[in-house]
Amino acid sequence: MSTSSPSLLYTSACSKIQDFPKRLSNQPLEKKELDLRETWGLSIQAAITGTSTDQERHRLVTEIVSARNLGSLGPNGMTADGQIMSGLPFLFECVNFVYSGEAMTLRQHERIHLAAFTAMLVAAGVRADELGFFALSVLRETLETTIDRNRESDRSMSKLLPVAVAWFDFAGHELAVFSGGDGHKPRSGVEISLATVGPLAHKKGVLERGFSTERWQFWRQRLQQLSGIDTKTIKEPVLRCMASMDKWSKDAGVVVE
């Protein structure tokens, strides 16, 4: 990741988003698309780097929502990924690039910040139907897969659980809603990959990709099992996830057995 000052990255990202209408209106489509990708990349970097704060991430999300609410640029604003600005084209693509290409090479705090930022976008309704599937990739690895027992490994439970906590903290309600009723199922190839069920859940009868009540129940049961591990770095985040699930299960009407 860049060594630029987080505050400078944050200020630059906010400024570029705010300046979208003036900057994009007279550009040819190819340059518009490049500009969007560069701006989303800068925004993601600002959200996850170094000492970036939840307050700054919330502000970035607010700026993105404001840009979306400007509406469309008309016929000259239609891209292969939707309308500028109302469709926020290429945002999902840019988030996916980080999750798929860099997520496991990021430092621990950067992975947590990435989860928090993505969850905030989902909670704000920003391409939530698509971005919500990144929660499944995190929860699959954390709760549906056999974990490396090496505490220093990036795949140790103590390293993975705080990333799951960020999702439940900032988008717990949305994850519960996705899991209720008929669930929320993947459509595209990327979504299908993100929504794949992990081996532990599959063994317990969770067979369908995507969000479902059965999968939500498995996570809750798995957390209950992990709560018996009397290690602070595991027990505390487990209990925090459980409390969030219990709260949002009740609010969203998702049955937990």
Domain boundaries in the chain?
1-126, 132-257
Q: What is the mean pLDDT of residues 117-141?
A: 97
Rounded to the nearest integer, the mean pLDDT of the chain is 91
Question: Percent of the chain, pLDDT > 70?
Answer: 93
Q: Which two tokens stand for residue 192?
A: 């299908």
- pLDDT band of 3, cuts 50, 70, 90: very low
Are the beta carbons of 174 and 120 closer than 8 angstroms?
no
Structure tokens at 40: 């989303």
Q: Which residues contact 181 (CB under 8 A, 6 or more apart)?
A: 213
* pLDDT at res. 250: 84
Phi then psi dihedrals of residue 61, to 5 deg: -60, -40
Q: What is the pLDDT of residue 94?
A: 96
- Between CA 81 and CA 88 the distance in angstroms is 8
Residue 83 has pLDDT above 70, yes or no: yes
pLDDT > 50? residue 117: yes
CA 167 to chain centroid, in Å, comes to: 7
- Give the pLDDT band of residue 103 (cuts 50, 70, 90): low
Structure tokens at 138: 């995190």
pLDDT at residue number 104 = 60
